[in-house]
Amino acid sequence: MFSGLNDSHWKTSGDVQVKDSVFCLNGAGASAIYNENYKDFELSMELRTTPGGKGYLCFHTDSLNVKGYRIAINNDRNDSVWWRMTGSLMSVRNLTKSFVKENEWFKMSVRVEGKAITVCINGEPVVEYIEPSSPFRKGQNIDALLSEGFFSFTSTGKGEIQCKSIVVKTIDTKNLDINAQQTAAVDEQKDEIIRLHQEDFPVLDYHVHLKGGLTKEKAAVQSRKSGVNYAVAPNCGIGFKITNDQEIYNFLDTMRTQPFILAMQAEGREWLTTFSQAARDEFDYVFTDALTFTDTKGHRTRLWMKDEVFIDDEQQYMDMIVDKICGVLKEPVDIYVNPCFLPAQMRDRYDFFWTEARMNKFVDALAKSGKALEINELYTIPSKAIILKAKAAGVKFSFGSNNIDEIPAATLLAYCIQMKKECGITASDMYRPRIK
């Protein structure tokens, strides 16, 4: 498709040039369409973006570059749309992590075989999507469907998209079982995750643990299948898997090339003296909860452990919980998780204990701290009333499953999405990780 000599097979507009055997699209509005029809294929190329360069590759498009699917080309970690990075099947499987940097050559391949779309970056799959028999599409995405058509590149940024070694091979699908493919597809008419992608909302589970049999390999497959990006967080603290700086570095060495944002869960109240700031800063963000503390009688308390909760007067105990939370909000973390948790003895009267005055005290401390508030799927907390107060105070949010199973249904984020709808949470309300 491109030999490095010229762009004679492409219909171009805007600033499109061939320089030193590289096909270059410079600045917003530059585009190139390869005017030849393809249906089932494997397309491979080498790409590089200069600072500010971004855009997309389209396949199965038409001469107006309207229909078909778009693959994001964007390695700008400062981009405002941080959840649509290189390799994203745009508005269907958006990706929150880019595997490559600006000014760095990388390989991208796109394979379409029947109803299956696979996108790989440097040989690793980042999207594995099967278009179901009844795809959910709305608004400007109505024509993002498989059919057949042209390839195109479109530049939407200030810098350049540079391409070379663009090769396409057709795939013979005469013996392919399309029905078997679609049996494995997600039912998008019932799926809430595709709706988030379609409205261009960041689809990230900010609170995932590799435990209970969930390996990084299984998590990557699960994430690609569900369409939910994962932020993987080890538990870091005394008595947990990671207990010192070197173990943090060892963990990160095994995870940097994985398709996950990397977070730290700071455990207990000793974590500040257990880990150096330099080690903590290697994560994309840090979160903690207020479930571990020493109560007024000197008992070390883990609030989720019923036999470690000693209550004489429930109202006094609740006041202590609120005070402990407000104390934790002074710690140097980015997100407060498992928020406003109550012990088992009090949980069935959540709204009774979380009075207006206590909610106001908490939200005021949260807003002043600048921390984001997790909406937690595992415990379905905090309440709608607390979330609404936090939103009104300008607090940012995260969605967290705090998964406990190998293939957790929690990662479908049902409670988080319900609260998003009922509280009017938008993309701009979501916490943005500082992705390394």
**pTM value?**
0.95
Residue 436: the pLDDT is: 79
In order of 215, 340, 341, the CA distances from 325 in angstroms are 32, 8, 10
- Decide which of 10 and 372 is more confident: 372
Residue 320: the pLDDT is: 97
For the chain, list the domains and their CATH numbers.
10-183 (2.60.120.560), 201-429 (3.20.20.140)
Average pLDDT over residues 12-29: 94
Q: For the ranges 161-165, 264-268, 276-280, 406-410, which has the lowest average pLDDT?
A: 406-410
**pLDDT of 423 strictly over 80:** yes
Residue 213: the pLDDT is: 84
Amino acid at 340: C
64-100 confidence digits (pLDDT tens): 889 999 999 999 988 999 999 999 999 999 999 988 9
Q: With contact defined as beta carbons under 8 Å apart, do 178 and 114 qualify?
A: yes
CA distance between the termini of the chain: 35
Average pLDDT over residues 359-376: 98
- pLDDT confidence band for 9 (50 / 70 / 90): confident
Share of the chain above pLDDT 90, in %: 90
Q: If we measure between CA atoms, which residue out of 347, 341, 332 comes closest to residue 362?
A: 341
Residue 174: the pLDDT is: 93
* Distance from C-alpha of 411 to C-alpha of 405, rounded to nearest angstrom: 10
How does the average pLDDT of the chain come out, rounded? 95
Token output for 366: 């949260």
**pLDDT of 345 strictly over 90:** yes
310-330 confidence digits (pLDDT tens): 999 999 999 999 999 999 999
**pLDDT of 410 strictly over 80:** no
Average pLDDT over residues 170-193: 95
3-state secondary structure the chain: CECCCCCCCEEEEEEEEEECCEEEEEEEEEEEEEEEEECCEEEEEEEEECCCCEEEEEEEECCCCCCCEEEEEECCCCCCCCCCCCCCECCCECCCCCCCCCCCCEEEEEEEECCEEEEEECCEEEEEEECCCCCCCCHHHCCCCCCCEEEEEEECCCCEEEEEEEEEEECCCCCCCHHHHHHCCCCCCCCCHHHHHHCCCCCEEEEECCCCCCCHHHHHHHHHHHCCEEEECCEECCCCCECCHHHHHHHHHHHCCCCCEEEEEECCCCHHHHCCHHHHCCCCEEEECCCEEECCCCCEEECCCHHHCCCCCHHHHHHHHHHHHHHHCCCCCCEECCCCCCCCCCHHHHHHHCCHHHHHHHHHHHHHHCCEEEEECCCCECCHHHHHHHHHCCCCEEEECCCCCCCCHHHHCHHHHHHHHHHCCCHHHECCCCCC
**pLDDT of 409 strictly over 80:** no
Count of positions (residues) in the chain: 436
Residues near 247 by beta carbon (within 8 Å), at least 6 away in sequence? 241
**pLDDT of 112 strictly over 70:** yes
Q: If we measure between CA atoms, which residue out of 409, 408, 359, 410 comes closest to residue 383?
A: 359
Share of the chain above pLDDT 70, in %: 98
**pLDDT of 413 strictly over 90:** yes
Strands 235-236 and 106-113: unpaired
- Decide which of 253 and 211 is more confident: 253
258-293 confidence digits (pLDDT tens): 999 999 999 999 999 999 999 999 999 999 999 999
Compute and round to an integer the Cα radius of gyration of the chain. 24
- Decide which of 411 and 229 is more confident: 229
118-149 confidence digits (pLDDT tens): 999 999 999 999 999 999 999 999 999 999 99
Average pLDDT over residues 198-215: 94
Residues forming a β-bridge with 94 = none
Residue 5: the pLDDT is: 65
**pLDDT of 55 strictly over 80:** yes
